[in-house]
């Protein structure tokens, strides 16, 4: 059952553009709202509107296609397991299936927080609040994205460790990535990779620069929100209590002892991993100091989906 909520990510401004107001009400996107205004389908206080630049207040009466505009919905967020082969876009020029073709009909109009490319899968966040989506996408928000990655060939662990200092490829600089070898097989290997920037096809391009072709890429987490045991196509709404708690955090927490980045910090490879991929003694001590019973209980109560990366090597 859908949750009812009056929580909003940001307090509503005294005035805002009418297209934004229409979009927040869940009628259509901001771009579609502008098109409807241009077509003369929007009325403001009884008069037909001819420009989307108009500012409105809470006291203005708006009609779209002859219907009174409803109040803006509260902020909501969903976790979605995006399957491979679906485009993360509302429309696709090539006619390919999109994630919106497969979402439940009962869901309201939502937008994605970032993207996953056609061949990638795993956790994708969906929200009905454009301001929240933009906030979560900003690198300055500082939330780490973690991925399970399968690459072809035999992996050089020293090369992986060197990515902690960043890498420049064809003039594009990619900030610190933390990559760890989980399992080496005869013809391929499984890695865990953590990034903060999330540039377009970042992991694939970095691995290709090292000579490894990515054959599978699964996003495990986006900040504190986890994929968990979800399967292809699953959609689960984040509870309002957990959502408000996470949005109220001044410094997002990522408690994985071997894959944690502090804002503005770059780790030296030798301090990040042993060749075996296990955390060093300093990291184990730090992890133990953070896992006292009281703190653990608080985290479990406040964030049942909190990001706790473990070194267990379960196959996806």
Q: Which of 117, 175, 234, 245 is catalytic?
A: 117
The residue count for the chain: 316
Cβ distance 306 to 255 under 8 Å? yes
CA dist 261 and 278 (Å) reads 16
Residue 233 near residue 183, CB atoms below 8 Å: no
For 152, list phi and psi in degrees, rounded to 5.
Answer: -85, 145
Report how far residue 99's alpha carbon sits from residue 312's, in angstroms, rounded to the nearest whole number. Answer: 31
Kindly state the tokens that stand for 54.
């108009």
CA 287/CA 284 separation, integer angstroms: 5
What tokens appear for 185 in the block? 């097989």
* Residue 182 annotated as catalytic: no
DSSP state letters, 13-76: PSSEEHHHHHHHTTSS-HHHHHHHHHTT-EEETTEE---TT-EE-TT--EEETTEEPPPPPPP-
Which positions ≥6 away from 254 have C-beta within 8 Å? 143, 144, 223, 224, 260, 261, 307, 309
What is the distance between the alpha carbons of residues 225 and 72, in angstroms, rounded to a whole number? Answer: 25
Q: Which residues are catalytic?
A: 117
């Amino acid at each position: 059952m859908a949750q009812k909520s009056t929580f909003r990510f940001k307090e509503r401004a005294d005035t805002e553009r009418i297209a934004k107001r229409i979009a927040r009400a869940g009628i259509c996107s901001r771009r579609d709202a502008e098109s409807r205004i241009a077509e003369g389908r929007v009325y403001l206080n009884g008069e037909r509107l001819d420009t989307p630049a108009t500012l409105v207040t809470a006291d203005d009466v708006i009609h779209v296609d002859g219907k009174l505009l409803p109040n803006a919905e509260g902020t909501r967020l969903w976790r979605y397991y995006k399957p491979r082969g679906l485009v993360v876009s509302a429309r696709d020029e090539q006619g390919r299936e999109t994630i919106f073709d497969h979402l439940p009909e009962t869901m309201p109009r939502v937008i994605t927080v970032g993207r996953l490319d056609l061949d990638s899968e795993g956790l994708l966040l969906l929200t009905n609040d454009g301001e929240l989506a933009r906030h979560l996408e900003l690198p300055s928000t500082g939330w780490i994205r973690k991925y399970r990655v399968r690459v072809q060939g035999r992996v050089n662990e020293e090369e992986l460790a060197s990515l902690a200092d960043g890498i420049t490829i064809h003039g594009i600089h990619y900030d610190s990535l933390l990559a760890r070898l989980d399992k080496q097989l005869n013809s391929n290997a499984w890695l865990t990779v953590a990034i903060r920037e999330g540039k377009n096809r970042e992991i694939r391009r970095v691995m290709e620069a090292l000579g490894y072709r990515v054959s599978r890429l699964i996003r495990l987490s986006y900040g504190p929100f986890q994929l968990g045991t979800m399967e292809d196509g699953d959609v689960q709404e984040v509870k309002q209590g957990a959502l408000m708690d996470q949005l109220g955090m001044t410094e997002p927490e990522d408690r994985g002892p071997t894959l944690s980045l502090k804002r503005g910090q770059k780790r030296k490879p030798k301090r990040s991993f042993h060749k075996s991929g296990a955390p060093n003694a300093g990291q184990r001590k730090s992890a133990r100091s953070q896992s006292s019973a009281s703190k653990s209980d608080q985290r479990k109560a406040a964030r049942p989906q909190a990001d706790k990366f473990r070194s267990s090597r379960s196959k996806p």
